[in-house]
Structure 1
């Protein structure tokens, strides 16, 4: 008898949760959309930065089965284009011997999401700066690894935000 009560309770919870209106903000399940996503222009001397951003954006957009990313503008519903404006490493804090101990990596970008059918701009971000601190070490390889991790964090967070903003715009239209 206790098993039947537990099963009935579990079934009731599942039914209530299923009808509560919860929606995963990371998944678009509306009508199929295709996004033309050219590689971003890279105005910095940081090699492959444009490819890293493209790959991370692609990873996010692949989470939704109803969104297809394409390298072809023809037939696409939307375009997501961007530009890497700057990449710099200004010193942040100094140790007792006046050496830099922490650096703040800054990445500045701009991007636009446009509906190609209506020619309407859905998102226009003329300048957005992302920053992440990392530790400097006497070991240059470790410092380079720390800088790479900071850059990866920035790219992942930025891509997630762009993806979520895009989903909000697609859902509205």
Structure 2
């Protein structure tokens, strides 16, 4: 019992000591931005529809953010969020005993910028990558569905990370 208490205390102290903190519930975007227009990201890869997945994930994340309101037109926004998908890869990760692919790893890299709507001044800019693994399957249709699901997970994680970094102005 005392070992568990000691472990919990050490974990709490290590998180506190490294500067880790939970995001403010009233976290605001840089420059006091409240109204945001999200543009469709430019897809610089050969993989279609990645821009839709990431744009939708960013929109979903911002909708859940206190102190931020999305607007449907750039002229009603304090800031405009734009970006590029700069990389996508889907590579074999592991093989089974018959030397067939058992798992794949998808990696997505994006760059986004939050610009002031009137001056185009960059308020925040960042780049992030994320990976997700998924099981291979002899059925190509099922394997494609798993890759799409992995892309959706990556897009959500990227949106969460990018929002947290924007809100912390990091």
d(CA) in 2 for partners of 1:111, 1:27? 22
Deviations 1:22-56 (A, max 9, x none): x8645547977111211000122333221222211
How high is the TM-score relative to the length of structure 1? 0.71
Please list, as runs of the form range in 1=range in 2, the aligned pairs for 1:115-126 lying within 5 A after superposition.
115-116=116-117, 120-125=121-126
Partner of 2:75: 74
d(CA) in 2 for partners of 1:50, 1:119? 22
d(CA) in 2 for partners of 1:135, 1:52? 21
Deviations 1:84-108 (A, max 9, x none): 1122211111222222111110112
Moved more, 68-77 or 111-120: 111-120
Aligned length: 148
- Indicate whether 1:46 and 2:47 are aligned: yes
Please list, as runs of the form range in 1=range in 2, the aligned pairs for 1:21-100 lying within 5 A after superposition.
25=24, 28=27, 33-64=34-65, 66-100=67-101
d(CA) in 2 for partners of 1:26, 1:135? 37
Secondary structure of 1:97's counterpart equals coil
Partner of 1:168: 168
Cα 1:72–1:89, aligned 2, differ >3 Å: closer, same or farther? same
* Bigger Rg, structure 1 or 2: 1
Secondary structure of 2:128's counterpart equals strand
- Please list every run of 5 or more consecutive structure 2 residues that lacks an aligned counterpart in the other structure: 1-21
* Structure 1 contact 35–68 (Cα < 8 Å) conserved: yes
d(CA) in 1 for partners of 2:23, 2:145? 34
Secondary structure of 2:75's counterpart equals coil
* Structure 2 contact 33–78 (Cα < 8 Å) conserved: no
d(CA) in 1 for partners of 2:154, 2:33? 29
Secondary structure of 2:64's counterpart equals coil
Give the drift of 1:115: 3.1
d(CA) in 2 for partners of 1:120, 1:138? 50
**Cα root mean square deviation, aligned:** 2.7
Please list, as runs of the form range in 1=range in 2, the aligned pairs for 1:130-145 lying within 5 A after superposition.
130-145=130-145
